[in-house]
Structure 1
Amino acid sequence: MKKSLLIISFLISALALPVAAQHTFVKNSPRFSAPAKADEAKTMAMSHVVASYYTAASEATGNCDNYYLVVSDKTNAVFNSAEGTIVATNANVAAIDLYAPAGTGTELPEGTFKAGEGSLYYDADYSYTTKYGFTGKPGKENALTGDVTVKKGADNSYTVTFADVNGVQYTYTGTLSFVDMNTGTTVYPQIPTDVNTTFTGGMAYYHGNLMESNTGTVAEFYFDYVVPTAIAGTEGNAFSFTYDDNRTVKVSGAKAAEAALYAADGTLVMRKRVADGTVVLNLDNCKPGVYVLTLENEQVFKLIKQ
């Protein structure tokens, strides 16, 4: 069944002055779990690049060029480069820490990457797979096993194949472009903090920062909303979601009976009944961090409290 969807994506980055220093990012350090028993071989197609960072050879990288790649089967997966953490909902995620000889450059080379050895290798301590649940809580982290194979096609297209200790075979197919962590900071234009947009049906996805000033506070949030078809009798009940003051979340036009707010680790923070399609949650008592708001049998939102 085909559906026509309006897909709108914004990526708004914070304005920063160019400097000579290198970019920095933190890799996620997994805690590996024992292999699960698999009744049959499984395959998993990964199509979304969550993070891709290139670091030129130095003592910190063992004098090899380093390519840190995180992929997922869902587009809602987001990587926090400052903390080395991942936010995702109902998504399979894999991280691969690849190394090549010094001077290879920002393009990932073709070849077979072995675990911890050879001219092309991957660091098994930072390479793993996991599954994030509906509340955003990650599951067990599974070590990779065997080789990672990288094949390059035309137009910077890649096929990356690997497997984890549970016997699941993963394949990423798509383009790969790595952020060069050895260059200076990039300057991006800003937009006003007040962005008013109305969506009627279709799908909306926002990812980015809204800056009040170059050194001011950040209002940052993510949301997904899908209306596949119009439902008779509900045209006047427009759905709306607001979270623009870093403290109050308001949802109206909801069909859910209850709203629940979870911390990034899956801990229930609060639960409220929806009255006449409206629910308001106050985040004053919530610590800064990532939260997941779920509307019962309806929508899931990711929030960032600054």
Structure 2
Amino acid sequence: MSVEPDTYRPTPPAKTFFGPPVDADKWGRLKLGIFWIIVVGIGLLIVSSVMSNPRFQWPVVGRYLLDPTVLSGFITTLWLTVVIMIIGVVLGIALALMSLSTSQPLRAFSTAYLWFFRGTPVLVQLIFWYNLAALYPTYSIGIPLTDIVLAQGSFNDLITPYTAALLGLGLNEAAYMAEIVRAGLESVPRGQRDATAALGLNRWQTMRLVVLPQAMRFIVPPTGNQTIGMLKGTSIVSIVALSDLLYSVQTIYSRTFQTIPLLLVACFWYLVATTVLSLLQRYIEQHYSRGYAAR
């Protein structure tokens, strides 16, 4: 009984226009190298054009990069981002727990909150809070059914640009953080809660020791994105004359008429802050992803 010879034939090497045939791996590396040469070449041309264009006024950029007014606005932007995200995270967690509660009034309140703050533009909310004194000129806080007044005053004194920015952006951010936290909590399998109940843990212990540590792996990435987005989104507070980074450079170029270089200064500091936040986000993601196999 005869056996047919092995009919396997290797794949012929690819042909090129520049020389003798090469194998597929070498041809792939050659194409990749050509691609990177083209990309780097285009990038160098763009950088050369930008750096050599005198209309960018790079000496002006360097002069205002560490200007006290600009640095003060940058610090204000960072402060606003931190405080607004704290407000958003705290209220977002509370709203997420309300939406998962068995109490119908709590779920209704959470649904109505998300419906309103996610359904109206944040700019409108910011302007609304800034002009709240038009609706309520004065306020008075006291003990009901008595004549005792604990505090009273004018809303014009209470609603400053800082207060309007914190209320407008913080309450809006809470609506989005609520959905992020809710999705993270619901990503933990129901069996985890059942197992902790069998071990005798109460709901708070289950949430703190079991659910939240597992949910953080799903909560941290979108929260980091929201933080970076909020850092850039704080530029909207310039509409209420709050001296953030953008408003600070606007103040300068409205006087010097050097618009482009001052905007480049603002872009530089925004890029510095977003780069640091991105690195911090990656570190936190790696921390909460320990013990999970890479997919």
TM over 0.5: no
More helix by share: 2
More strand by share: 1
Q: What is the TM-score with the length of structure 2 in the denominator?
A: 0.18
Q: What is the TM-score with the length of structure 1 in the denominator?
A: 0.18
**Which has the bigger relative contact order, CA under 8 A and spacing at least 6?**
2
| Structure having the higher Rg | 2
